[in-house]
Amino acid sequence: MALQTVAHLLTFCLSLSLLISVKNSFCNKNDTKCLSTSCQNDSTCKDFSKDSSCHCSGTAINLDKDCDHEKDPCFSSPCPGNATCVSAPGERRVLCRCPPGYSGTTCNTAIAPCGTNSCQHGGFCHQDPVHPVCICPAGYAGRFCELDHDECASSPCHNGAVCQDGINGYSCFCVPGYQGRHCDLEVDECVSEPCKNEATCLNEIGRYTCICPHDYSGVNCELEVDECRSQPCVSGATCQNAVEARFCDCAPGLLGDGCELSTDECASGPCLHGGLCVDGANRYSCNCMGSGFTGTHCETLMPPCWSKPCHNNATCEDSADNYTCHCWPGYTGAQCETDIDGCSSSPCQSDGECVELSSGEGHGRLAQLLSLSGRPEASGYICICPPGLTAYVAGRFGQDDSTGYAAFHLDKSYGEAFTLSMFVRTHRPSGLLLALENGTCQYIRVWLEHGRLAMLTPGSPKSLVKFVLSDGNVHLISLKIKPNRIELYQSSQNLGFISAPTWRLQRGDVLYIGGLPDRQETEVNGGFFKGCIQDIRLNNENLEFFPNSTSNAAQDAVLVNVTQGCPGDNLCEPNPCHNGGICHSLWDDFSCSCPASTAGKACQEVRWCELSPCPPRAQCQAVPRGFECIANAVFNGQSSEILFRSNGNITRELTNITFGFRTRDANAIILHAEKEPEFLNISIRDSQLLFQLQSGNSVYMLSLTSLQSVSDGVWHQVTLSMTDPRAQASRWQMQVDQRTPLVTSAVATGSLNFLKDDINIYVGERASDNTQGLRGCLSTIEISGIYLSYFENVHGFIRKPQEEQFLKISLHPVVTGCLQLNACNPDPCSHGGRCEDTYSSHHCTCPVGWSGAHCELDIDECLSNPCIHGNCSDRAAGYHCRCEPGYTGVNCESDVDNCQSHLCANGATCVSDASGYSCRCPGNFTGRFCRYTRLPSAVCGNEKTNLTCYNGGNCSEFQGEVKCVCWPGFTGEWHRRSEYPRARRCEKDIDECASDPCLNGGQCHDLLNKFQCVCDLAFAGARCELDLADDLLSDVFASIGSVTLALLLILFLAVVASVVAANKRATQGSYSPSRQEKDGSRVEMWSMTSPPAMERLI
C-alpha cells in the first residue's frame, strides 16, 4: 500500500513536471501578470501577487476588468428637448442631432424662417416644414449660399499652371510650353520649323533646341562654322571654307590635311644611270656628275669630249663615234700630250728671244701677241724681237662702228702653192676676213659666220668649220693653198679643207682684208669686219698696214678707215645694261653687273620666279619673256566650269596639249571648245580617256581612246600631239603615262590654231553631250607651251609680261591643292568612320555617336538636353533617360497614366500625378479609395457665417468660435476663411497606414480610425512585432529532457498534451488573447466577450 502510494506520488510529480515543461514550451515564461496589451483604452494595469486589474482612465464606470467597454456619454442625456444624442466610439464626446428649427452644440439656437432670412448670391429660400432652406445657384454653397464654391480645390490645372477661381468655373493660366483648358497639352515649338540647314529641332517645355549639323552653329543653326578660324593650314597654305569641310590650298610639293607633309618627288627614283636625285618644292633635279650621262633624268650618254681627254688646254672636237684633239702650239700627239720643245734649235735670229709656248709663261704671253714683236710658229715657239728690229703693228677695223678695209696689190707671182696667215681678234660673229681675186675672177673668200670660219671658192660648196673665233681672243688663221686643195688652220689645228680648181696667184692680183670696196659684195660675205688683224704673211713675207723705214714689207697697203693699234670701243656709252645693271667696259665688249633676279649679257632677262609673283598655293613656271602660275585644281563635279580665252596675241602654231589628272569618275568632262565647224573635246567615257577633234577643212571628226582605264584615282599624264606639226593636216597621237604603244588616229585633221581666235575654252565642265563635270584633280593644262593658268592677274602680284597668253575669264576662284596620293591610305578615320578621298584632303563620315575630322570625338548626346522630365546619361552612340516619377518614354516625354490600375471605388474619379494617383470621391463617399460612406454633416453658425462639418463631425459654437468636432479617424484642411482660422471640416479620412506601422514585412490595411496588420507566418502581434520561430525553437529544446523522463507515462501525458494543445490553438488567429497577455495585462479568457461591430451614421 505504501509502495503504491509512492508510485502514485512519483507519477504525479513526473506529470506535473512534464506539464510545466510543455506549457513553458508554448507560452512566454513571464511571471508578471500584466502584459502589454491586457488593458485597453489607455487604462493602467496593476499587478498583484495572484492577479491583476485594469484601472481605466477617463471613464466613470468600469464595465469589465479590461476597460474595453466604457460608460455611454449619452447616458446623462446631455442634449435637451427633442435633440438626439450621438456618442463617438472610444471617446467621451457627444454630438447633439438637433430637431428641425434648432441648431448649435446643444441645439438651443432657434433657426429663423424665410421671412427674416435672405439667401445670398441669388439663392432661393424654400420654407421647409421644419426650417428654411436656401437653394443656391451654381457655384455657391452654404446655408445661406454665402460660400463661393472653390472650383480650384480639385487642382484642375496641370503642369504648374495657376488656377483662378470664378463663379461656377475656373481659369487656368499656363506656364510657357503648355496650352489647353487645363494646360495639359504641350506646345510644340518645332511646328514653325525654326531650325535651319537640316538641323534637328528638339521640342522642350516653353522652348526649343536646335541640334546643329557639324558645320553650323547658332540658336537656329543659321551660322556656318568657320573651319578656318583655328588656322589649320601651315607652310603658308591658304585655308578655304567649303560645305561641311575646309580645304588647305597647299603649295605644289606639299600635301596633308594642313599641308604639313612634303612630297618626296625622288621617291619614284626618276634619275637614271646612278644620277643623284635632289628633292625640291614640287620638283626634283638629277645631278648626273660622274655618271657619264646628261639630260633631265641622266638618260643621254655624254659625248666623248665630256671626259676632257685632250691635254694641255687642247680643244676637243666630237665626231660621230670618236673625238679629235686640236693642240696648242708646242704640243703634239693624239691627245696633245707631247711637248715639241721648239726652242731647242735656237731658231730666233738677231738675238731675238725664243719663248716656248708649251711653258706656262709662253702660253700666258700669247694673249699679248698684238703688242709683241714676234709671232708663234707651228713648231710651238715665238720669237720676241729686240728693240730696233721689225715690229708688226696691228690694224684696227670698224672702230666706233665705221666701215673700212685694206687692199694689198701684189707686185709678183706666188704660183700654185703658197701660204697665207694672220692674227685675228674680234667679238663680232660676222665679217669678211680676206678675199683673193683679180679683175675678172674670185679665187677665195674667208669670213666669219655665226662666229665660225666660212670658206668659199668658185665651183665648190661653202665650207663652215665648227671652231668659234669671235670670243675676243687672239687666233692665228692660216690658209695652205695647194693644187686642187685648200686647207684651213687655226694655229696648228687643221680645221678642214675644200677641193678647188688649180689657180695661180699672179702679179696684179689683190688681197682684200676686212672688206671690199663694194658694200653690197661685202654684205654678202658677212659684212665689214670689226676687230684687229696683225702680222699678215704671204709665204713668210710680211704685208704691213703701217710700214716704217726699217721694215721689209713686201707690199704697200691701201687703207680705208683702218687705224693703227688695237684699241677697243667703249660700248658702255650709252649704257647697254637693262633693269639697272652697271656696265663695265671691255675690249670691244662690255659686261653688266646685274641686279638680283635679272640675267643675260645686258640684264635683259628677268628671273620672274625669283620675285615670287604667284600666290602661295601656286608654283611659278618660267616661260619665254615671262612666267606662269601653275597648280593642281580640285573639281567637285558641281562647281561652275572655268572659262579661258586667248588674248589675241598668240602667234605660234598650236599642235599639242599636255596635262595630268586623277579621278574615280567613269564619265566626266575635262576640256571643251567649239566653234563651228571646229570642235575639241577631251573627256572620260566609260573609264577611258577620249579625245575628239575636228579642225581645219577636215570632213571627219578625229577620235582617240586610251588603251587603259584612267578612273582609278591615281595621277595620269597625258600628251596629245600632231604626228607632223609642220603640216596643215596631220594624224594625231595619244600618249598616257609615257607608255607605248601610242594611240594614233586613222584620219588626219588640222591643228588647234582655231583656239587663237575669240573662242571659249571650258575646263572641268560644259560638254555638248551633258556629261557631268569632273570630280577630281586636274593639273594646269599646257597648249603648245602656253599654260591655261587657274590664277588671273591677282591684285598685289606682278602681272604676267609675256605676250602670248590664255586668259582666265571666269571670276570665281579655283580650289587648288590637290594631293598627290590617296588621302584615305592609310585610313585616317577612327571608330569605324568611312573615309572619302576628297582629292585635296579626306572626309570622314562618322558613325552615330562620333564626330571630329577623324571621328575621334565622342558626341555627348546629353548636351541637347533630350530628357524632358528626367536625367540624361551619355552612352556610346546614344543616351539613356532616367525619368522622374510620373513620366515615361525614350525622352521622358509621356505622362505615366497611374490610373490604369487604380482602386478608386464607388464611381470616384482617378487623378494621376507624379507620385501616383488620388481618388476624387463623389459626395457621399470618402476615404483614400472612396470606399466609405460619408457620415452625416452638420451646419452651424448664423445667416452670415456658417460652417459645415462632414463625416458626422459635430458643429459647435462656444464664445463666438465655431468649430467641428471630428469623429475619430477623420480630420480636415484648415478652413481658409479668415473668420474661422482654426476650423477643420472633418472631410478627410485619416490614413492610419501612412506611418507604416506594420513591422517585419507585415502588410497594412487602413480601416476607420485604425489599421490592421496582416503578418507573415513567422510573426504575430498587432504590429507583427513577435517572432514566433525563436521562442518555439528554444523552448522545445529545453523540454526534451522532461519529455524523455515521461516516456513510461505516455498515455497519460498524451491526454494532458491534447488539452494543452487545444488551449494553444484557441489563442491563434487575427485575435489572440495570449499575445495580448504577452503585451499587456493578464486576460481572463473565460470572461472575454467580443466587442460589438462599429456602426456608421449615415
Cβ atoms 994, 987 nearer than 8 A: no
CA atoms within 13 A on the CB side of 1058: 5
What are the E-state strand segments in 349-429?
Answer: 353-356, 381-384, 395-397, 405-409, 418-425
Helices (H), 638-764: none
- Give me the DSSP letters along 739-756: -SSPEEEEEEE--SGGGG
Which residue, chain included where needed, has cell 522545445? 1036
Secondary structure (3-state) at 1036 = helix
* Cα gap 940→962, rounded to integer Å: 7
- Nearest Cα neighbor of 878 from 869, 888, 891 is 891
Tell me how long the chain is: 1098
Q: Given this model, what pLDDT does residue 347 score?
A: 62
Cβ atoms 376, 366 nearer than 8 A: yes
* Cα gap 490→496, rounded to integer Å: 10
Residue 1007 CA from chain centroid, whole number: 70
* Cα gap 1090→1088, rounded to integer Å: 7
Q: Which residues contact 595 (CB under 8 A, 6 or more apart)?
A: 579, 580, 581, 603
Q: Given this model, what pLDDT does residue 61 score?
A: 39
- Number of C-beta neighbours around residue 88 at 10 A: 20
pLDDT single digits (tens) 272-331: 878 888 887 667 788 887 777 777 778 777 777 777 788 877 777 766 567 778 776 667
Residue 1059 CA from chain centroid, whole number: 93
Alpha-carbon distance values, 650 to 642, 659, 752, 756, 787 (Å) = 20, 20, 12, 6, 12
Alpha-carbon distance values, 261 to 264, 267, 633, 778, 823 (Å) = 9, 14, 18, 20, 12
Cβ atoms 532, 396 nearer than 8 A: yes
- pTM value surpassing 0.85: no
Amino acid at residue number 477: I
Amino acid at residue number 467: F
Could you tell me the three cell numbers for 81?
A: 428637448
Which residue, chain included where needed, has cell 487623378? 911
Q: Given this model, what pLDDT does residue 1086 score?
A: 34
- Give me the DSSP letters along 661-679: EEE--SSEEEEEEEETTEE
Residue 290 CA from chain centroid, whole number: 49
Which residue, chain included where needed, has cell 522630365? 869
- Nearest Cα neighbor of 522 from 406, 424, 422, 423 is 406
Domains and CATH numbers, the chain: 2-69+1040-1087 (no CATH), 345-391 (no CATH), 392-564 (2.60.120.200), 570-606 (2.10.25.10), 613-808 (2.60.120.200), 823-895 (2.10.25.10)
Average pLDDT for consecutive 10-residue bins of the chain (1098 residues)? 50 55 47 52 56 53 50 77 72 73 74 66 70 74 76 85 84 85 84 88 85 84 80 79 66 72 74 82 76 75 76 73 72 80 64 66 48 46 60 86 93 89 93 90 90 88 87 90 89 83 87 94 93 91 80 72 91 90 90 86 87 84 89 81 91 94 91 90 94 85 92 92 91 91 90 92 76 87 93 74 91 81 79 81 83 83 87 83 85 84 87 80 79 71 68 70 78 55 69 89 83 86 83 53 60 63 49 41 36 36
- Strands 442-449, 557-560: pairing kind: unpaired
- Number of C-beta neighbours around residue 1054 at 10 A: 10
Q: Given this model, what pLDDT does residue 1074 score?
A: 41
- Give me the DSSP letters along 2-39: HHHHHHHHHHHHHHHHHHHHHHHHHS-----S--TTSS
pLDDT single digits (tens) 345-396: 566 655 677 777 655 455 445 545 444 444 444 446 666 666 544 557 899 9
Instruction: State the Cα angle at 144 between 139 and 146, rounded to 5°.
Output: 50
Secondary structure (3-state) at 624 = coil
Could you tell me the three cell numbers for 839?
A: 582629292
- Nearest Cα neighbor of 531 from 564, 494, 561, 568 is 568
Could you tell me the three cell numbers for 606?
A: 628677268
Q: Is 320 left (phi over 0), alpha (psi -120 to 50) or beta?
A: alpha
Q: Which residues contact 710 (CB under 8 A, 6 or more apart)?
A: 661, 663, 684, 687, 688, 689, 716, 736
Could you tell me the three cell numbers for 68?
A: 474595453
Peptide bond into 574 cis (omega under 30): yes
Q: Given this model, what pLDDT does residue 886 score?
A: 77
* Cα gap 80→63, rounded to integer Å: 27
Could you tell me the three cell numbers for 777?
A: 584633280
* Cα gap 237→553, rounded to integer Å: 78
- Nearest Cα neighbor of 455 from 422, 484, 424, 432 is 432
**Burial of 395 by CB count in 10 Å (0-12 exposed, 13-18 middle, 19+ buried)?**
buried
